[in-house]
Structure 1
Amino acid sequence: MRNTPDRLLRSEATRQRATFLELFLDLVFVFALTRISARLIADFTDGQSGVYAGLGQALLLFLALWAVWSVTVWSTSWLDPDAPIVQTVIIMTLVGAMTMAVAVPHGFGARASLFAITLVTLQIGRVVFFHVAGHGRPDPQQSIRILFWFGLSAPLWVSGGLVNDGTVRGALWTLAVLIDYAGLFLGWPTPRLGAQRLGVQMIAAEHLAERYQQFLLIALGEAIFVIGLAFSGSEFHTDQTGGFVLALASTVLLWRIYFHVAGGMLGTAVDRSRNPARLATDMAFAHMVMIAGIVLTGVGFELFIAEPLGHLPATWLIAIFGGPVLFLAGRSALEYQVFGRVSRSRLAGLLAFGLLIPAALHLQPLTAGAVAAVVLLGVAGADARRSLRRSPETPTPPY
């Protein structure tokens, strides 16, 4: 009787580790991140005039995919992932997310309608399926809340996918993303029912923390894929080899900065929080920013490996400097969520990037990448020194 609708909620005995089906789902998002990176690389190298529009389009596509993944992870941290109904929803998500991913390269062009209609069908369809198959359990009101908010954004997604004007599409999809994320952040407040985040009754903190960590590792893996692809397609010149080594070292630094203390204590922080549902939601947004930063940093790797010397287009600094800045900003937010404070090294790193921009405009691409790596090395070094001077910290979330 363990997987009947009455037993869909997680229990203390439910395993905390991610299931193999959940890890299988993550493979789809690995592919999705590679498609987003490819879009950005093309925008940066094929014509500087389209970089800003391309960045905005890639961001909207990324946010749509992240929303799909986030709701799935929240659901499996609240519900029993071994229940057949939950597993069916994960498979539905896998198929839908893969369809969205293959549409990403032309997600603002010929495949816009495919991307939008798949997104809407997936987001609404899996809620309806779960509600019907579970006979309204475990929380019929939550299904109504989520459907209410998806019903607000769905017409915007679909109409944006069908229009021929890219500017109109961008405006409609931006509004749709704002609605989707407002609902997720606020707990889908609905007339007469109020608001309630997923998992407010009981959340598997260890499982949720592990899923965030796994997705960040996926993003780092995608960056490694970009590095390998860029270098394997090069002439293996000395400067390109230097760019390859520098990119790998920078990826290691990103890994080190993330997992230093706070990144490895997410589950304990959620367990200790007075409001675990809110903290876990905020952690999702912090990871979203970090992962976006890693993807953008990977684009920067491609740029300075492929063309390490010569003139540095100003827009390339958006990737070479902007990616690490986004990562440090998200990591600073995560540190506050875990410990209620932000290390000076994080703030110093962000300040350093800002101060170095004017000088970096006169550097070669590879040199700019080296400057970014030095800043990250400084942050990681400060973390290491602080660990030697202090005793191990205990998570003290601010709420």
Structure 2
Amino acid sequence: MPDNPAPRSLLRTRTGHHAQVGNVELFFDLIFVFAVTQLSHGLIEHPTPTGLLHTAILLGAVWWGWIDTAWATNWLDVDRPLVRGLLFVMMGAGVVMSAALPEAFDEHGAAFGIAFAFFQILRTGFVLWAVRNDPVLRENFQRILVWHAAAALLWAAGGLAPEDARLGIWLAALALDSIAPALNFYVPGLGRSHTGDWTVEGHHLSERLSLFTIIALGESILVMGATAAGLDWTFANAAALLVSFLGSVAMWWIYFSASAGAATETIASARDPGRIARLAYTYVHVIPIAGIIITAVGDEWVLHHPLGHTDPKTALAVLGGPALYLLGVGLFKLAVFGKISPSRLAGLVLLGLVAPFSLMLPPLALAAIATGVLIVVGAWETIALSRGAESA
């Protein structure tokens, strides 16, 4: 894209300096606090294999809606009134979409499907118009619009379809959204995009993903706080609340270690930042977000029955959430640096060793062990980085 767009351009002016995340972007992200909370509550209410599958599909939709917008605002100048207006309209669609999440596979399917389709098409169509004077970006977003239009048609059709057909249609829609970037948005007659043409401002995109992680962690604290507020203040309940809180702190600690800044610099200075950002941010980053959501569900169940019997669903949430989180942040490190993180791998092994004994322990004890593993990983990485180790 041009280094110095015309004054009335809707695109960011690339000056070589770190582009700050705008206040309107932070405001926009608030709708996803609501969305993540809705996903957690939906899984709490439907702790079945089908409920987990439904939550995974809806998380996929929410993720693609957010990450596609994060990429769009990496190009768009959010200080322009038209761009702000776009984000406000999208927020309105996002509120409808998020409100419909708990019953998206029931009576609110049409509201979710149509709102999400509108969300995706409006944004991509606007960006295509905004980049109309840049031939490379224009061709890129022409391809993206074709893919998003095809997926949006399926999201809307699935919402309007009978409930027994909705799952298959939305799986197909999610598959289209998911494979498009990996295929470089190939469209017959229009060719394919190249990651080298995706002029990524690495610092901005990294900051956006960091903020989304904080949103997910904030949602977990919201869930545990709201649950604890409605319970009797016993020693066991207080201990469960403390363990849950420390687990969230440990997740923040692991994510925002010094390696996070190093990852940002690596992507920003890479010869092909679009390729690294596509893998590390677009694909891998949703895994730790899913881990945070599942951990929040486990926290809810532990808070309700800290000293009771640990059933399979509680064990899966309490151990599976942190495991999924460590897997995600480990894959993120691999995607950016090309190195396996020994600390995060060790954390996964420790959680795996605990799993066979999980049903023998009270929920509070199991949660304390899982939190302890996360704290060990965070401490390991901090100590290793302070000693100048190349990896942790």
Instruction: Give me the TM-score of the superposition, normalised by structure 2.
Output: 0.92
Q: Do 1:247 and 1:301's aligned partners in 2 also have CA atoms closer than 8 Å? A: yes
Whole-angstrom distance in 2 between the partners of 1:267 and 1:303: 36
- Say yes or no: does 1:58 pair with 2:61: no
Q: Do 1:74 and 1:199's aligned partners in 2 also have CA atoms closer than 8 Å? A: no
1:276 to 273, 277, 293: 273
1:192 to 185, 189, 192: 189
Structure 1, unmatched stretches of 5+, are: 45-50, 395-399
State the AA in 2 paired with 1:105: P
State the AA in 2 paired with 1:55: L
Whole-angstrom distance in 2 between the partners of 1:87 and 1:71: 16
Tell me how many residue pairs correspond in the alignment: 386
Q: Do 1:360 and 1:368's aligned partners in 2 also have CA atoms closer than 8 Å? A: yes
- Say yes or no: does 1:119 pair with 2:122: no
* 1:4 match: 8
How far did 1:326 drift? 0.9
Whole-angstrom distance in 1 between the partners of 2:121 and 2:215: 26
State the AA in 1 paired with 2:340: V
Cα 1:343–1:14 change in 2 (3 A) is closer
Q: Do 2:120 and 2:152's aligned partners in 1 also have CA atoms closer than 8 Å? A: no
Whole-angstrom distance in 2 between the partners of 1:228 and 1:346: 28
* 2:82 match: 85
* 2:245 match: 248
Whole-angstrom distance in 1 between the partners of 2:246 and 2:29: 25
Any idea what SS the aligned residue of 2:285 has? helix
How far did 1:133 drift? 6.2
2:361 to 351, 363, 366: 363
* 1:227 match: 224
Q: Do 1:266 and 1:338's aligned partners in 2 also have CA atoms closer than 8 Å? A: yes
Any idea what SS the aligned residue of 2:78 has? coil
Q: Deviations over 1:268-292 (max 9, x none)?
A: 0112323200111112222211111
How far did 1:178 drift? 1.1
Cα 1:229–1:147 change in 2 (3 A) is same
Cα 1:62–1:388 change in 2 (3 A) is same
Structure 2, unmatched stretches of 5+, are: none
* 2:138 match: 140
Whole-angstrom distance in 2 between the partners of 1:26 and 1:140: 26
Whole-angstrom distance in 2 between the partners of 1:12 and 1:185: 29
How far did 1:369 drift? 0.6
Cα 1:37–1:3 change in 2 (3 A) is farther
Cα 1:110–1:199 change in 2 (3 A) is farther
State the AA in 1 paired with 2:379: G
Cα 1:345–1:270 change in 2 (3 A) is same
Q: Do 1:96 and 1:118's aligned partners in 2 also have CA atoms closer than 8 Å? A: yes
1:340 to 330, 338, 341: 338
- The range that moved more, 250-259 or 12-21, is 12-21
Instruction: Give me the TM-score of the superposition, normalised by structure 1.
Output: 0.90
How far did 1:136 drift? 6.0
* 2:28 match: 25
Q: Do 2:220 and 2:248's aligned partners in 1 also have CA atoms closer than 8 Å? A: yes
State the AA in 1 paired with 2:14: S
Whole-angstrom distance in 2 between the partners of 1:241 and 1:274: 51
* Identity over aligned pairs, percent: 33
* 1:102 match: 99
How far did 1:155 drift? 3.1
Q: Deviations over 1:200-251 (max 9, x none)?
A: 3422111111101111011111111011011111111111111001011111
* 2:42 match: 39
How far did 1:304 drift? 0.3
Whole-angstrom distance in 2 between the partners of 1:239 and 1:228: 15
Q: Do 1:200 and 1:276's aligned partners in 2 also have CA atoms closer than 8 Å? A: no
